[in-house]
Amino acid sequence: MADGSLDTDSEDEIPAGWEERMTLDGDNYHMAGKGSLKMMELSSMWSFETARSLAFHGAHVVMACRNTMSAQTCRDLILAERPGVKVTVMKIDLASLNSVKEFADQYKQQEWPLHYLICNAAVFGLPYTQTEDGLEATFQVNHLAHFYLTKLLWTQLMTSAPARVIVVSSESHRSADLNILNLSEEKLSPLESGYWDLRAYNLSKLCNLLFSLHLNTLLCRYRVSSVALHPGNMMYTNLQRHWWLYRTIFYFVRPWTKSMQQGAATTVYCAIAPEMQAVGGMYFNNCCRCPPSSAGADDELAKALWDIIMDCLYL
């Protein structure tokens, strides 16, 4: 692990064939008996690759998805390739806090352990949309709902320790303009007049990073660590589906972006690599520690954001 390495997101930083060994070869790291909960957007094939890899490494993977029909198809593909693995599909809609609560209650009823919570579902490029909870959708789906679910499963993480929370952020967090002076609920969840889709996405990714930072501060004493990561630049998933211009841009840069296995590699590394066991509060790219923006490393801002989110959720 290259401590403090600069992030260029160059594919050359990953040794040839390494992502296949990391994501497919279950003999490298065994996770037998480990419970892994992964919030997925199944239109994203790198999310599928992550779930597939964790299952192949021996984890019982719970795919928490909005579109359960697509999730079931993915589960069937994984089982067809390796029949003995354990993959469960459960329903969650991050645009509904009631759905998040219902999911958490159902998970607790199963009395499963929770060793790895991977928060990676996200939206991008949405027109201005309010959720049923009255909040701007990008903020709620990309950040608030992940925060809420983690809080609801707090006890499961601690009783399963050692456990890890892996939060998928993005290099776009560097473009967010959040600071301790302008932090407010109105900034995080703006009205339509103050909304721009790209700004909302960048802000949500900085919130992800700050959430992971403060979560690690709170839970490390209980042997629960948290890290954030960047999976790759402009990978051709379905994240860009909401606007033709984004679809066009992502299509033309596709030859120079990561494959789905490469995109999954850093998530899998952060979840299962033995050297990551006691690592927390850090940001990773290309399976190496990477310095975040100054805002992304601001403990005061992370604590202030945490307090505002707690107020939003009435916790």
10-residue stretch averages of pLDDT, the chain, 315 residues long: 35 40 43 55 65 90 90 92 94 96 96 93 88 97 96 96 94 94 97 94 96 97 95 56 55 56 81 88 92 97 98 90
Of 107, 116, 148, 201, catalytic: 201
pLDDT digits (tens, 9 = 90+) for 230-263: 885 545 455 555 544 655 655 555 555 555 666 6
DSSP string, 137-188: HHHIIIIIHHHHHHHHTHHHHHHT-SEEEEEE--GGGGG----TTT--HHHH
Contacts of 293 (CB under 8 A, 6+ apart): 173, 174, 176, 206
Which domains does the chain possess? 11-312 (3.40.50.720)
Q: What is the pLDDT of residue 274?
A: 87
C-alpha of 173 from chain center: 14
201 in catalytic set: yes
- Indicate whether this model's pTM tops 0.75: yes
Measuring CA to CA, which residue among 228, 231, 218, 206 is closest to residue 282?
228
Is the four-CA dihedral 306, 203, 282, 38 of positive or negative sign? positive
